[in-house]
């Protein structure tokens, strides 16, 4: 294989891996976003909750109750996923949605 072709192959492969990982989301960054967006004000997770936790309810075990596609849809447009949703739309980038999805999918224990 020619050096340029080989270099292009490796660069293309690396970009593909980065794109796949971005789509899957980063669990640790999702946890940071959860804290930064103050999701705990309206949700309970691992026994920690905020003053309006009864509105959003518990997220413990959400990773076993909902698949990634549903969680992504809910984070993008709550009422599209659940017409009776009380959660307002939150300004999140696609990457933040992917990261939050990874974090919430990791919440598998009740």
pLDDT tens digit string along 54-106? 888 899 999 999 999 999 999 999 999 999 999 999 999 999 999 999 999 99
Edge-first strand order for the sheet with 57-58 is 48-49, 43-45, 57-58
CA distances from 105 to 32, 51, 66, 68, 84 (A): 15, 24, 8, 7, 22
Query: Does 110 map to a domain?
Result: no
Query: Does 80 map to a domain?
Result: yes
Query: Does 93 map to a domain?
Result: yes
Query: Does 83 map to a domain?
Result: yes
What pLDDT sits at residue 107? 82
Query: Does 91 map to a domain?
Result: yes
Cβ-contact 104, 69 below 8 angstroms: no
DSSP annotation of 66 reads S
The count of C-alpha atoms lying within 13 angstroms of the C-alpha of 64, restricted to the half-sphere facing its C-beta, is 6
Cβ-contact 61, 73 below 8 angstroms: no
Mean pLDDT computed over every residue of the chain: 83
**CATH code assigned at 100:** 1.10.760.10
Query: Does 95 map to a domain?
Result: yes
Query: Does 88 map to a domain?
Result: yes
Q: Could you give the CA distance from residue 12 to residue 99 in angstroms, rounded to a whole number?
A: 23
31 lies in which domain range?
25-105
What pLDDT sits at residue 40? 92
What is this structure's pTM? 0.75
Query: Does 74 map to a domain?
Result: yes
Cβ-contact 76, 97 below 8 angstroms: yes
Q: Could you give the CA distance from residue 27 to residue 103 in angstroms, rounded to a whole number?
A: 4
Question: What is the domain count for the chain?
Answer: 1
What pLDDT sits at residue 81? 94
């Amino acid at each position: 294989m020619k050096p340029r072709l080989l270099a292009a192959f490796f660069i293309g492969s690396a970009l593909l891996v980065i794109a796949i990982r971005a789509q899957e989301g980063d669990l640790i960054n999702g946890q940071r976003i959860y804290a930064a967006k103050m999701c705990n004000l309206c949700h309970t997770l691992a026994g920690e909750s905020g003053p309006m936790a009864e509105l959003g309810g518990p997220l413990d075990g959400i990773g076993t109750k909902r698949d990634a596609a549903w969680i992504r849809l809910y984070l993008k447009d709550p009422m599209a996923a659940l017409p009776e949703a009380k959660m307002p739309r939150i300004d999140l980038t696609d990457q933040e949605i992917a990261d939050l999805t990874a974090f919430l999918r990791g919440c598998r224990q009740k």
